[in-house]
Amino acid sequence: MPQAYMEQTGHGTTGPEGSGTGARRFLGRGAGDWRGPGMWRRGIVLAALAAVVGLLMLLHSEIPNGVGNLGSLTETFLPWLGLFVPLLLVLAVLRRSATALIALLLPAVAWVNLFGGLLSDKSGKGGDFTVATHNVNAENPDPAATARAVAASGADVVALEELSDASRYEKALAGTYRYHSVQGTVGVWSKYPLKDARPVDIRLGWTRALRATVETPKGPVAVYVAHLPSVRVKFRAGFTAGQRDHSAEALGRAVAAEPIRDVVLLGDLNGTMNDRSLAPLTSQLRSAQGAAGDGFGFSWPAGMPMARIDQILVRGAKPVSAWTLPATPSDHLPVAARVKLG
- DSSP state string for 171-196: HHHTTT-SEEEEETTEEEEESS-EEE
Nearest to 265 by CA among 213, 293, 224: 224
CA distance 82 to 63: 18
pLDDT at 155: 98
Task: Tell me the C-alpha to C-alpha distance, in Å, between residue 342 and each of 31, 129, 156, 286.
Answer: 63, 11, 16, 16
CA distance 88 to 85: 5
User: Where are the chain's structural domains?
Assistant: 33-119, 129-340
pLDDT at 41: 86
Nearest to 166 by CA among 192, 152, 184, 149: 184
Helix (H) or strand (E) holding 337: strand 335-340
pLDDT at 31: 46
CA distance 287 to 311: 7
Q: Give residue-wise pLDDT tens across range 140-170.
A: 999 999 999 999 999 999 999 999 999 999 9
pLDDT at 51: 97
- Taking only Cα atoms into account, the Rg of the chain, rounded to an integer number of angstroms, comes to 28
Output the pTM of the full model.
0.84
pLDDT at 36: 66
Q: Residues for the chain: how many in total?
A: 342
Nearest to 251 by CA among 214, 225, 287: 225
pLDDT at 15: 46
Residues in the chain predicted with pLDDT less than 70, given as ranges, are 1-33, 35-36, 232-240
Give the CATH number of domain 129-340: 3.60.10.10
Instruction: Evaluate whether 273 touches 286 at the Cβ level (below 8 Å).
Output: no
Burial-class residue 80 by CB neighbours within 10 Å (0-12, 13-18, 19+): exposed
Residue 336, beta-bridge partner list? 132, 323
